A and B are shown apart, each in its own frame.
Chain A
Amino acid sequence: MDEASLAGPRERALAEAPVRVVSARVGLGRRLANLWSRRELLWGLVFSDIRIKYKNSALGIFWSMLSPAFTLAVYYMVFSLFLKNGIPNFVVYLFAGLVVWNMFLTAVSTATGVIVDRAALVKKVSFPREILALSNVGAAIVYFVVQVVVLVVFLLVLRHAPAWGYLWLLPVSFLALAAFSAALSVVMSAVNVYFRDMKHLIEVVLQLWFWLTPVVYSYENSIAPHLAAHGLSVLYFLNPVTLIVVTFQRVFYVTPVVHSTVTGQVLNILPTWSFDRFLLLNLALLALSLVAFLVAEAVFGRLEGNFESEL
């Protein structure tokens, strides 16, 4: 008998098992492969994140709707009733932008501190560390889906039809949002290990970012004319969240041009782009976001080598 047949089934299986390599530098391809092979852990962490967050609260996951609903109500009162911006059906416009912004905000703000918060785990258990940041993005996506469902119900109640022809923009736009949020979350979670201020800094930056994104106001109406006068329109769209917000508003709010409820004047609320232009821009953003995610993975790989001496 030859040696192979003498060995037990375990040893024979082992001889064919793939070899895993632990070394100082891990190539990007292998990083992504590792990430994919541990996707079940990602689902597990997303699930447990959500479970833990609402474990001891009476209303549970309803909080993920209540708190945005409250924000929505406040902005609606301030901009529509007190400041009288004159945008008809302003609450729909607001809601469409807020679901996008909330997802981005939740993902980035929770992911930034996650590696430091779970240092005990990072130092003891082996798994691709960026999964921790991605699990926060995953949880943010779940809340996003819940809010979109509420938005749809809201539209049904208001009998406000979305722009059916533009509906297909949503998946593309959503994927771009997810990829961009993931990229930023992964990088920030690693940077925060070295600069613990990042967690506080990012909160300030996100507040500023919110006002640079046309959620509670209309870009076309308030900012576009000024920028266009200097030929700087493109500047505003350097903020990737803007395009996604505008796309969601275009799909849910529908009409780019309305009559002010206050003065009766014509208001340009949204860009009057064609479906193709929207699609092209969103596809480009998706591609850029995916590249950003790859860069984020590479940066994370560089930074994670020294985690243990910083945590």
Chain B
Amino acid sequence: MTTVIEVHGVSKQFKIHHERHQSLKERLLHPRAGSTELFNALREVSFDVGAGETVGIVGHNGSGKSTLLKCICGVLKPSAGQIRLRGSLAALLELGAGFQPELSGRDNVYLYGAMLGLSRRTVDAVFDEIVEFSEIAPFIDTQVKFYSSGMYVRLAFAVAVNVDPDILVVDEVLAVGDERFQAKCVDRIQRFQREGRTILLVTHNADQVRALCDRAIVLDGGDLVADGPTNESLRVFRERLLDEAAEHDPERLLGTIQIESVTTPSGSFEVRNGAGIHLDVMVSSQGAFSGNFVVEVFTRGGLLVSRSDAQGAPVNLAPGANRVAVDLPALPLLDGVYDVNLGVVDALGHTVVAWREGAASLQVIYDGREGGIVALGAAVTQL
């Protein structure tokens, strides 16, 4: 496999101005004032991406993921290290940033295309496709300043995905447009995957990464903390999020509650032919706490099978050891291993106070010959 992106010990430092003195007068009057601090947005990050891979870059806000992406796109220059790229790259960073409001949609398509490195002739060839994808054909000769924000973004997205890039870099932009347009975007990204293009997807939406990526990279405070199969990386990501939350936890609840163990009455995690399973969960708590229990079931491929309502299962934990019964009455799942994640959230369902990723692995055995995840047991009768 050809390596298309090589990130080699990339660091990026930003100067943070505590007081900005940008005018000449201010600089002359305060030669030393306006102290600056160096902020490390990225620290010696290295990884390779091969052709055709779809890699998710996850991290919470301020983890450096957008900085990394901008370095890869060449919008920012790394302070140290280098990035080697093979093939053409199109970036969906902020859609429509290159648009000139005074120009018509048509002119902007050409201008934006040129910014992405396309010749006029190339844009000519895909122009109709761009207009069709963006769904704004009647307004293509209208000045862009009269566009709605949705039209604006759709046109920008349409240009970027029609440029035939070898590498597509996407930064949180899949949240644009209405649901139908979003589906269209995801569809286009999946088509890119089939065509063997390389995709870098930056998001803090773990579900999106699970759905689209084979591999994920986790950044935390500018450090690369995980790089591997999506599932494993996301586990690290969630644990980091929890650690992070613990630091900013006003009520100091985190760490006071632990999910200690998960067992079954029979001692086996085997599930046969759609039967249910009963999980015995031991939860220790240092104080009394009222919250909710959350249960997630994932396939090994990282597909979310089910997530319980964060406010649907109230529990009242007493100080000391608590026993919680989690009953999954029926698991009409097909053959395979399914991971169960358990968590405790506050009464409003907003703050996670305890989390156990991979609390149990269910071995599901299904005798039927259906394919997929769910055993629907479709019955066909000729009448």
Binding site for B on A (CB under 8 A): 7-8, 10-11, 13-15, 17-24, 26, 37-38, 40-41, 43-45, 48, 51-52, 55-56, 120-121, 123-127, 194-198, 201, 304-306, 308-310
- Pair B115/A41 contact, Cβ less than 8 Å: yes
Given A11-B2, A48-B100, CB of A17 within 8 Å of CB of B86:
yes
Residue of A nearest to B169 (CB): A126
Checking A8, A18, A22, A24 against B74 with a beta-carbon cut-off of 8 angstroms, the contacting residue is A22
Closest 4 A-B residue pairs measured CB to CB?
A: A124-B97, A23-B82, A126-B74, A44-B114
Nearest CB in chain B to that of A55: its residue: B102
User: CA–CA, A309 to B71, complex, Å?
Assistant: 14
Confirm or deny: B77 has a beta carbon within 8 angstroms of a beta carbon on chain A: yes
Most buried by A among B74, B103, B120, B197: B74
Instruction: Answer whether A124 and B75 are a contact pair too, CB < 8 Å, given A23-B81, A195-B23.
Output: yes
Q: Contacting A11 at CB < 8 Å: which of B73, B114, B119, B196?
A: B196
B103 touches A14 (CB 8 A): no
A51 touches B107 (CB 8 A): yes
A229 to B115, CA, bound (A): 55
Q: Are B77 and A17 in contact (CB under 8 A)?
A: no
**Interfacial chain B residues near A13, Cβ < 8 Å:** 87
The residues of B with any CB-CB pair to A shorter than 8 Å are 1-2, 4, 14-17, 22-25, 27, 51-52, 71-88, 91, 93-94, 97-98, 100, 102-103, 107, 110-111, 114-120, 143, 166, 195-197
A-chain residues with CB within 8 Å of residue B27 when the two chains form the complex: 195
Once A45-B111, A124-B98 are accepted as A-B contacts, the answer to whether A196 and B22 lie under 8 Å apart by CB is yes
User: How many CB-defined contacts (below 8 Å) exist between A and B?
Assistant: 138
Contact call A22/B77, Cβ cutoff below 8 A: yes
Residue of B nearest to A198 (CB): B24
When A10-B197, A19-B86 are in contact, do A309 and B15 touch as well, CB less than 8 Å?
yes
Given A195-B22, A310-B22: A125 touches B51 (CB 8 Å cut-off): no
Cβ–Cβ contact A15 & B2, under 8 A:
yes
Cβ contact within 8 Å between B102 and A52 = yes
- In the bound complex, how far is the Cα of B76 from the Cα of A26, in angstroms? 13
Closest A residue to B83 using CB positions: A22
User: Are A305 and B110 touching (Cβ within 8 A)?
Assistant: no
> Given A21-B83, A21-B84, A21-B85, list of 8 further CB < 8 A pairs?
A17-B86, A19-B84, A22-B78, A24-B78, A51-B103, A125-B93, A195-B27, A196-B22
- Assembled-state Cα–Cα distance A8/B2 (Å): 12
Contact A10:B166 (CB < 8 A) given known A22-B85, A124-B93: yes
In the assembled complex, which residues on chain B have CB atoms less than 8 Å from the CB atom of A18?
86
Q: How far is the CA of A17 from the CA of B75 in the complex (A)?
A: 21
Residues from chain A with Cβ under 8 Å of B195 in the complex: 10
| B76 engages A11 (CB within 8 Å) | no
Q: Are B51 and A11 in contact (CB under 8 A)?
A: yes
CA A69 to CA B73, docked complex, whole Å: 46
A7–B120 Cα distance when bound, in Å, is 30
Assess the A23–B111 pair: CB atoms within 8 A: no
B71 partner residues in chain A, CB cutoff 8 A? 22
Q: Which of A20, A22, A45 has the most CB of B within 10 A?
A: A22
In the bound complex, do residue B51 and residue A10 qualify as a contact, i.e. CB atoms below 8 Å apart?
A: yes
CB distance from B143 to the nearest CB of A (A): 8
- Smallest CB–CB gap between B381 and chain A, Å? 45
Question: Given the complex, which residues of A lie within 8 Å of B17, measured CB to CB?
Answer: 309
CA A305 to CA B25, docked complex, whole Å: 24
CA distance A19 to B87 in the complex (A): 7
Q: Which residue from A11, A14, A44, A55 sits with its C-beta under 8 Å from B110?
A: A44
Residue in A closest to B91 when the chains form the complex, CB atoms: A126
Q: Say yes or no: A14 contacts B4, CB within 8 Å.
A: yes
User: Is the CB–CB distance between A127 and B115 below 8 Å?
Assistant: yes
By a CB distance below 8 angstroms, the chain A residues around B78 are: 22-24
Q: How far is the CA of A41 from the CA of B115 in the complex (A)?
A: 6
Q: How far is the CA of A195 from the CA of B23 in the complex (A)?
A: 5
Complex interface: chain B residues within 8 A of A8 (CB): 196
| Whole-angstrom distance between the Cβ of B110 and the nearest chain A Cβ | 6
User: Shortest beta-carbon distance, B146 to chain A, in Å?
Assistant: 13
List chain A residues, Cβ under 8 A from B80. 24
A–B complex contacts, Cβ < 8 Å, 15 sampled: A7-B2, A10-B166, A13-B87, A15-B86, A17-B166, A24-B78, A24-B79, A24-B82, A51-B107, A52-B102, A125-B97, A126-B73, A195-B22, A197-B23, A308-B14
- Establish whether residues B114 and A41, one from each chain, have CB atoms under 8 Å apart when the complex forms: yes
Give chain B nearest CB distance to A254 CB in angstroms.
Answer: 42
Docked CA distance A163–B257 (Å):
93
- Nearest B residue to A116 via CB reads B22
**Smallest CB gap from A126: residue in B:** B74
Residues of B within 8 A of A125 (CB): 75, 91, 93, 97-98, 115-116
Determine which of A40, A195, A197 lies in contact with B119 in the assembled complex, contact meaning CB atoms within 8 Å: A40
Nearest-neighbor residue (CB-CB) of B7 within chain A: A22
With a CB–CB cut-off of 8 A, which chain B residues contact A24?
Answer: 77-82
Q: How far is the CA of A306 from the CA of B17 in the complex (A)?
A: 12
A14 and B77 contact, Cβ closer than 8 Å, known pairs A44-B111, A196-B23, A309-B14 = no
Pair A22/B72 contact, Cβ less than 8 Å:
yes
- Tell me the smallest distance from the CB of B153 to a CB of chain A, in Å: 13
Task: Name which of A17, A37, A44, A194 has the most chain B CB atoms within 10 A of its CB.
Answer: A44
Q: How far is the CB of B69 from chain A (nearest CB, A)?
A: 11
Report the bound CA distance from A24 to B83 in whole Å. 10
Which B residues lie within 8 Å of A197 (CB)? 23-25
Complex alpha-carbon distance, A201 and B24, angstroms: 10
A40 near B77 with CB under 8 A, answer no
Q: Are B16 and A309 in contact (CB under 8 A)?
A: yes
Cβ of B343 to closest chain A Cβ, rounded Å:
37
- The distance in angstroms between the C-alpha atoms of A122 and B93, with both chains bound, is 12
Least CB distance, B80 to chain A, in whole angstroms: 6
Query: Which residues does chain A contribute within 8 Å of B166, judged by CB atoms?
Result: 10, 14, 17
Q: Is the CB of B77 within 8 A of A23?
A: yes
Contact A123 B85 (CB under 8 A): no
Task: Report how far A194 CA is from B111 CA in the complex, Å.
Answer: 28
Least Cβ–Cβ distance between B99 and chain A, in angstroms:
9
What are the residues of chain A within 8 A of B107 when measuring CB–CB? 48, 51
Contact status A14-B86, CB under 8 Å: yes
